[in-house]
Amino acid sequence: MNYLVTGASRGIGAELVRQLVARGHQVIALVREPERASVPAGVEVLRCALDRVGDLLHLHTQLADRELDVLINNAGVLGKWTSLAEVDLDDARATFDVNVLGALGVTQAALASLRRRATRRIVAISSGMGSIRDNTDGGAYGYRMSKAALNMAVRSMAVDLAAERFTCVTMNPGWVQTQMGGAGAPVPVEVSARNILARIDALTPADNGKFLDHVGGELPW
């Protein structure tokens, strides 16, 4: 199978790439700075900063003759976690640019490649913090809003692409031991990645449009 993974230079993205290669899959890794990326042998690395429109437009050309089975929109930034009074609007916009519009731009660039295969899966790595119903703590405005918007984007994709037999889902990876999640997070990165891939493997058309958890079941919107 052929995978495209964004944010593949570290954290969950890097571990997804490592496990996919170990399983014998072909992987294209999208990273912001290829010269700093460390990926397994055989992985094709493409430069794409998700907050740069020019990079996203160039990605259409880079993927023009490719065939993809699965797109994993993993790249994301945390932004500043502040109180309501201290929200930095510029930072919130920057978070939205990467977490939502970047993922949307990559999906647009990858659509033709996904249409060349029968699998047609689009997976966005979201967060439980993007659940509106589950928000009982407040705060983290930029990050929470961006993940809720990402969920909505994927829900729309699920509707728009259903007739073409796409399966589009968002995935909560858990609170993971990465640079973003911190060393005190309860979920090792290799466990999160393994669970994510197991859920992707098990996807069926009935899952289209769902907000899934890495350990099983669904999350509330």
* Domain boundary assignment for the chain: 2-213
Contacts of 221 (CB under 8 A, 6+ apart): 131, 132, 133, 151, 155, 211
Q: In the chain, pLDDT over 90 holds for what percent of residues?
A: 90
Angle, in degrees to the nearest 10, between helices 103-115 and 53-62 = 10
Q: What is the mean pLDDT of residues 15-40?
A: 94
Residue 37 has pLDDT above 90, yes or no: no
H/E element holding 22? helix 11-22
Q: In the prediction, which pLDDT does 191 show?
A: 98
Residues in the chain: 221
Q: What is the pLDDT of residue 185?
A: 84
From CA 196, how far away is CA 187, in angstroms rounded? 12
Q: Average pLDDT of the chain?
A: 96
Contacts of residue 131, Cβ cutoff 8 Å, sequence gap at least 6: 148, 211, 219, 220, 221
pLDDT tens, residue by residue, 112-169? 999 999 999 999 999 999 999 999 999 999 999 999 999 999 999 999 999 999 999 9
Tokens linked to 198: 């197991």
CATH fold of the domain at 2-213: Rossmann fold (3.40.50)
